[in-house]
Amino acid sequence: MKNIRKKVLLSVMLTLMTVTSQAQNIPVYLDPNQPIEARVKDALSKMTLEEKVALCTAQSKFSSHGVPRLGIPELWMSDGSHGVREEISWDSWTPAGWTNDACTGFPALSCLAATWNPKMAALYGKSIGEEFRYRHKDIMLGPGINIYRTPLNGRNYEYMGEDPYLTSQLVVQYIQNVQNNGVAVCVKHYLLNNQETWRDSVDVQISDRALHEIYLPAWKAAVEKGHAWSIMGSYNKIRGEHGCESQLTLNKILKTDWGFDGAVVSDWGGAHSTMASALGGLDIEMGTWTNGMDKGKTFAYDDYYLGRNYLKALKEGSIPMSNINDKASRILRLIFRTAMNTNRSYGSFGSQEHLNAAREIADEGIVLLKNDNKKRLLPIEAKRYKNILVIGENAIKQLTSGGGAAGLKVSKEISPLSALQTKYGEAIHYTMGYASGPTTYGHVAPSPYSADSLRDEAVKEAQKADLIIYIGGLNKNFRQDCESGDRESLNLPFKQDQLIEALSKVNKNIILTLLSGNAMAMPWKEKIPAIIQGWYLGSEAGNSLVDILSGDVNPSGKLPFTFPVKLADVGAHSFDAESYPGVNYKEIYKEDIFVGYRWNDSKNITALFPFGYGLSYTTFKYGKATFAKNTLTQNGEFKISIPITNTGKIKGKEVVQLYIGEENPSVPRPRKELKGFNKIELAPGETTNITFKITPDMLSFYDDAQQTWRNEPGKFKAYIGSSSTDIKSTIELTFK
């Protein structure tokens, strides 16, 4: 209640300031009509050293200090992987018990990535930003944009896939539309947080080429094009330095090379030293321990590394005053952009508009992996079936909760089973088939059910069914898609592989729907006629899934990462333990720049399902690509046009993809890399021409010897296709 009153008073104060700013001679820092940089400079000049240092530390689990003496409010933040986290207590992780904090659950970011549609990223950002604004949050802890290096990573579902270009195109629109609400994104986790195993201590060794070509581009786009207002440092080490204390990634690359003017926020407990944090680029230190209010003074917030120890070092001169002035300026800038932004709207929360947005994004992200031409089980025609058997725990399990910091308390979550019952009525019957244990954090809880009994019952019921809709996959339990632990296997958990094999022996009419944020092995793939990758779809999960199953929506999602046949087909897992998960907490990225489809191309490995892959209920014909000339100069551009026709009977969307590769490079390079894509919608018989513009920067590579991007003259190929392996047209060009 104390904090609510404080927020109300600050809100009234800011409103009065806005109304009277023209008529009264108020301080520059309080005048919303003044430029932000002038306000920052003025506020800084009026602050004591103690007040500046206080800005750098937390005051509760999800807030940091303001400057009460000057009327400068604190910053309030919340986890925001795919919705606004429920309110928690001031000084513990216990839920606060509010009754009005149930949010809209949006699809996980792996689903957004599968839309391959920047318009969906903009819609996502606008909608979730409005929810954060309504809940009076100044900082949204998200989005996550770490690269998908291994399918075992427990947090892959919070990220946007394996390709830096795809992630870059989506994250810019997402950031801009969140921040249009006056809410700062805090893009996470910077950098190389590509696994949960030993996430607090693993020391990543990586080449400069891999760093700049694979792992940094999305972050650079977030800063230079998205203009992100804050960045969250990662737990792991990078060449011996913790991600929240890295001279290389924070000071040199982020703040100097890219000119980032926002604030770096630590992951909770991510700082390890006063000197390293202060001098290594960290601005706000957040944590998970007590602030001394009700648990004593043991490691209270003032005792954090950027608290009283930082103040002492500044007074003694071991850390220069320019260091705190830079940090305070960045934090003030963040406050003026958010908490003291009098032009931001009130936002909205849990609205039908947001539910519609969640459903639209999910519809576009669901990927049709297989639809056997002979059986054509999809889309489901209701009149064909009198007994439709739904099997699988994920048909009823709440998948918006769990997973660690990404767990949500939602106002609504439509289960697949309930949506199927609404659509197909009495034809729907259900049996669980398999079961996981309770959703827990940090340990695996056993299932209370007998796996054999559940399987036997499902097989018995399957023999009588006209059609089986299997809804399984992973969930957000520990060691699945969950923070703090990686998966232990590429195979499906809870004996699902055995269940699917048994079902395929008694009934051939199976539609397999997998809900997950990760790839999985499919040893039964050839025995199953229809397969859908469904992701974690949020509040409208069941409705979106039924949109696709029924054909009310034509699937148009494309995979944002490669599905390998086996774990050994993945670059990170093709070497020894030094490559994953590391040896003695040291890990070497031995696959280097060859991540995902780049690795498959370099080793001629056939994927289970390739990057960029996804089917439709209609068909598309790619015509012959045309171009005006086949040379490109340093200051020129090269345009390729290709006609695309919907040759099917229904309207559909297709993602036309452009890849480029150098023919005889002087250094090892991928055979091809994604450099463009365009999602289009065509009516039956409709044709449109897609044009891609190729510029010299799209041909460059990072020269680690010269520490810069470089072009070299030579022959290149441009590949246009519907996935990384389904290439429809190839064009040769020469760069001079």
Instruction: Quickly name the fold that domain 618-735 has.
Output: Immunoglobulin-like (2.60.40)
What is the per-residue pLDDT for 360? 98
**84: helix, coil or strand?**
coil
| Residue 267 annotated among the catalytic residues of the structure | yes
* Calpha distance 697→641 (Å, rounded): 20
Q: What are the φ and ψ backbone dihedral angles of 561, each rounded to 5 degrees?
A: -155, 160
pLDDT tens-digit series, residues 234-292: 999 999 999 999 999 999 999 999 999 999 999 999 999 999 999 999 999 998 766 55
pLDDT tens-digit series, residues 531-587: 999 999 999 999 999 999 999 999 999 999 999 999 999 999 999 999 999 999 999
| Contact in structure between 355 and 137 (CB atoms under 8 Å) | no
Residues in the chain, pLDDT under 70: 1-24, 289-299
* Calpha distance 444→466 (Å, rounded): 36
What residue spans of 475-606 are helical by DSSP H? 496-506, 541-550, 597-603
**368: helix, coil or strand?**
strand
Q: At what angle do helices 541-550 and 416-424 cross, to 10 degrees?
A: 50
* Calpha distance 532→367 (Å, rounded): 6
**153: helix, coil or strand?**
coil
What's 573-610 look like in SS3? HCCCCCCCCCECCEEECCCCCCCCHHHHHHHCCCCCEC
Q: Of 31, 163, 203, 267, which residue is the catalytic one?
A: 267
Q: How many CB atoms lie within 10 A of CB 220?
A: 18
| Contact in structure between 157 and 538 (CB atoms under 8 Å) | no
pLDDT tens-digit series, residues 671-721: 999 999 999 999 999 999 999 999 999 999 999 999 999 999 999 999 999
* Calpha distance 176→324 (Å, rounded): 29
Q: Which two tokens stand for residue 190?
A: 């910077």
* Calpha distance 304→64 (Å, rounded): 13
| Preceding peptide of 665 cis, ω within 30° | no
What pairing do the DSSP bridges indicate for beta strands 139-141 and 184-190? parallel
Write down the CATH number for the domain with range 360-559. Answer: 3.40.50.1700
Residues listed for the chain:
736
Adjacent-strand bridge partners of 709: 702
Domains 360-559 and 618-735 equal at CATH topology level: no
For the chain, what are the domain ranges?
A: 1-73+232-337, 360-559, 618-735
**To which residue do tokens 């003695």 refer?**
584
What is the per-residue pLDDT for 630? 83
| Preceding peptide of 191 cis, ω within 30° | yes
What residue spans of 2-74 are helical by DSSP H? 2-20, 36-46, 49-54
Adjacent-strand bridge partners of 367: 533
- What letters, b where the CB count within 10 A reaches 16 and e where it falls short, cover 451-469? beebbeebbebbeebebbb
**517: helix, coil or strand?**
coil
What is the per-residue pLDDT for 707? 96
Q: Which two tokens stand for residue 583?
A: 């040896």
Longest dimension (CA), the chain: 82
Q: Which two tokens stand for residue 38?
A: 């002038």
DSSP 8-class letter at 208: H
What is the per-residue pLDDT for 19? 47
* Calpha distance 267→231 (Å, rounded): 10
Q: How many CB atoms lie within 10 A of CB 409?
A: 17
Q: Which two tokens stand for residue 357?
A: 């947005």
DSSP letter string, 210-261:
HIIIIISHHHHHHHHTS--SEEEEPSSEETTEETTS-IIIIIIIIIIIS---
- What is the reported pTM? 0.95
Amino acid at 137: K
What is the per-residue pLDDT for 327? 98
What is the per-residue pLDDT for 299? 67
Q: Which two tokens stand for residue 227?
A: 């203009």
* Calpha distance 687→404 (Å, rounded): 46
Q: What are the φ and ψ backbone dihedral angles of 426, each rounded to 5 degrees?
A: -70, -10
